[in-house]
Structure 1
Amino acid sequence: MYSNIVSLMCREDDEETTMALLRVTALTGLSVAVGTAVTALLCVGPRQLSRATNDLGGRAREVAPYLAAALGLLAVKQLTQGYRIRLSRALDWRITGELYAIEGEFVAALQRATPDATLEPFSVAYMLGFAVLLVAGPTVYFLAGAGGRRHLKELLVAYMLNYAVGTLCYTLFIGYGPRKYLDSVDGLMYQFYPETQELTAAVASNTNVFPSLHASLSVAVAAVAWRSRRRFPRWAGISGTLAAAVVYSTMFLGIHWATDVVVGAVLGAGSATVGARIVTRVERRSTDGDPEPLDGPSADRKPKAGDD
């Protein structure tokens, strides 16, 4: 009798967890879709969006090799997850103590210095702003002209480099964030928005700390946006603001050490630079000539009245 009651309670808990995960996932997906659509409208303009609908097939074929490579890498990462977890446990290289030795109570001091009123905005930045960054960047470049697709290729390569390095580090090193290691640091987002923990647990392990891929990918997007700022000034401003909020939120929410964030930022900036060089070489080989200018053949043309 007792075992039946316990079994029933476990099933109810599992159902509640599943429903909470579905609710958070649906809300996140809807928010990202709306945020991406609004960003594309602001940064590309209705006229360019209208033109893009007439050439979706050609644009997709041009970036297909890069997109296929990125999706292939993610598939390999997912398929090898169990093996990587076993390898990581076998190596047992624990670095949390070393991370604490480097910076001590920095994250705790940061939490105390940050007003409580910013908890909700930074939680939104961490959960939704980050996702919008990752999706809106490729979308803006895909819907823009030829120069935009060049930046899209750079961004996809940068994504691959970030995930490759991050996956390697997460396999080699076992680390826990400050909220797990220090009593002086609170897991603020999970205390006030516990339902978000189901989603983060579903996509990442709590030992995926060094480096911070939230920081590295956000900085990579902002770095590519900065390279394209002449053509997409609004996107450069939006991505820079969101990236800064995401980077700060990872520490303020107690999820990452400052060391994770600094190394992640270096990885993000480096991946954007290397990604641009890789695309230049690939484009040069495919055309047997000079690569296309970063902002397209008409980058230096002064916009006419009425241009978006």
Structure 2
Amino acid sequence: MYPLQSMTHATVYIVISIYVLLYLSLRKNPFFVAGAFVQDFFTKRKFFFHFAAVMAILFFNKVELWIESKMHYTPDFTAKIHGLEGDFVAGFQHLFYNNTVTMVTSIFYVIVFPCLMIVSILIYTYQKKYRLFYALCYTVIINYVIAIPFYLFFPVQEVWAFHPNVKLLILEVFPKFEAEYRPLSGLDNCFPSLHTSISVSMALLASRSGNRLWKWFSLLSCVVIIFSIFYLGIHWLTDMCGGVLLGIFAARLGLSISEERPFFSRILLPQRRLQKQEVSE
């Protein structure tokens, strides 16, 4: 029996993981934590619009696949990427191949990755760290706004689909991955790696949270997810490098906007609102 038999099966694991991570990170009943989020969602207009913006950009990421299918612009930069880095991913995959490693990396790629964003939102909301919540919203939006044009105009195929000596190892754990997970991400939506950039961004934001367990778990997850994108045969080294740079840039910019540093405060908010921000939040 395969550990992940379907996306429904994976979703159940994601929900369980969120529950466990919330309890361990906050030592509170996760339902109370979720209740705090629902309350803020319906009572704080600024909170609502920021969260809605994140949902909109995540939805547009799926629309991007439809736009791409209608485009007549069909270049393929995969051969150029392979020419730059050669057989790095193939050697990496063969060096570390092990059934247990395949299981762990698949779980982090499919299950832990979405938990990083969801649990971060719930933790920051429950702890009333709204600036960090807003920073997360800006960060996610920046990651996708920058990545999507690359997916449209600089398509690069996943390694396993191009390199004859690389396998999509996640199929050994999640055999329906191509049928059920693939609609969320195009086969040529490779550079930059959003699994890398979002993981890096969430780890950087978690380092500001003051929550020791969440900080170290986010950092560990980031490292394992970056390892997994190579090991599972999905991303090129170039994708990872682009993802790391994007993740750092997005997190720093998101924090700058949420903390209303001088440059952004002059653009985004009138001065009189800045003075009242902390009171209103």
TM range (shorter): 0.7 to 0.9
Residue 163 (structure 1) aligns with: 144
SS of the aligned residue for 2:92 comes to helix
User: Is 1:122 the counterpart of 2:105 in the alignment?
Assistant: yes
Residue 66 (structure 1) aligns with: 50
Instruction: Give the conservation status (yes or no) of the 8 Å contact 1:41–1:49.
Output: no
User: Is 1:43 the counterpart of 2:25 in the alignment?
Assistant: yes
User: Is 1:272 the counterpart of 2:258 in the alignment?
Assistant: no
Which aligned pairs between 1:1-308 and structure 2 lie closer than 5 A? 24-46=6-28, 50=32, 53=35, 56-58=38-40, 60=42, 61=44, 62-79=46-63, 81-87=65-71, 90-116=72-98, 117-144=100-127, 146=128, 148-228=129-209, 231-281=210-260, 285=270, 287-289=273-275, 292=278
Instruction: Give the conservation status (yes or no) of the 8 Å contact 1:59–1:142.
Output: no
Instruction: Give the conservation status (yes or no) of the 8 Å contact 1:280–1:291.
Output: no
Number of residue pairs aligned between Structure 1 and Structure 2: 268
Deviation at 1:81, TM superposition (A): 3.9
* Distance across 2 between alignment mates of 1:188 and 1:48: 34
Q: 1:244 is matched by which residue type in structure 2?
A: V
Change (3 A) 1:161 1:190: same
Deviation at 1:85, TM superposition (A): 2.9
Deviation at 1:255, TM superposition (A): 0.5
* Distance across 1 between alignment mates of 2:107 and 2:67: 33
SS of the aligned residue for 1:155 comes to helix
* Distance across 1 between alignment mates of 2:148 and 2:231: 24
Larger radius of gyration: 1
Deviation at 1:260, TM superposition (A): 0.3
Deviation at 1:45, TM superposition (A): 2.5
Instruction: Give the conservation status (yes or no) of the 8 Å contact 1:122–1:245.
Output: yes
Q: 1:100 is matched by which residue type in structure 2?
A: H
* Distance across 2 between alignment mates of 1:208 and 1:32: 23
Residue 3 (structure 1) aligns with: none
Instruction: Give the conservation status (yes or no) of the 8 Å contact 1:210–1:260.
Output: yes
Deviation at 1:249, TM superposition (A): 0.3
Deviation at 1:284, TM superposition (A): 5.9
* Distance across 2 between alignment mates of 1:54 and 1:123: 31
Instruction: Give the conservation status (yes or no) of the 8 Å contact 2:26–2:123.
Output: yes
Instruction: Give the conservation status (yes or no) of the 8 Å contact 1:44–1:143.
Output: no
Q: What TM-score do the two structures reach when normalised by structure 2?
A: 0.85
Q: 1:44 is matched by which residue type in structure 2?
A: L
* Distance across 2 between alignment mates of 1:289 and 1:234: 33
Deviation at 1:109, TM superposition (A): 1.0
Q: What TM-score do the two structures reach when normalised by structure 1?
A: 0.78
Deviation at 1:195, TM superposition (A): 1.8
Report % sequence identity: 22
Deviation at 1:207, TM superposition (A): 0.9
For residues 28-59 of structure 1, the C-alpha deviation after alignment (integer angstroms, 9 at most, x for no partner) is 21111111111111212328975884785246
Deviation at 1:161, TM superposition (A): 0.9
CA RMSD for the aligned pairs?
2.8
**Structure 1: segments with no counterpart, 5+ residues:** 1-19, 298-308
**Structure 2: segments with no counterpart, 5+ residues:** none
Deviation at 1:269, TM superposition (A): 1.2
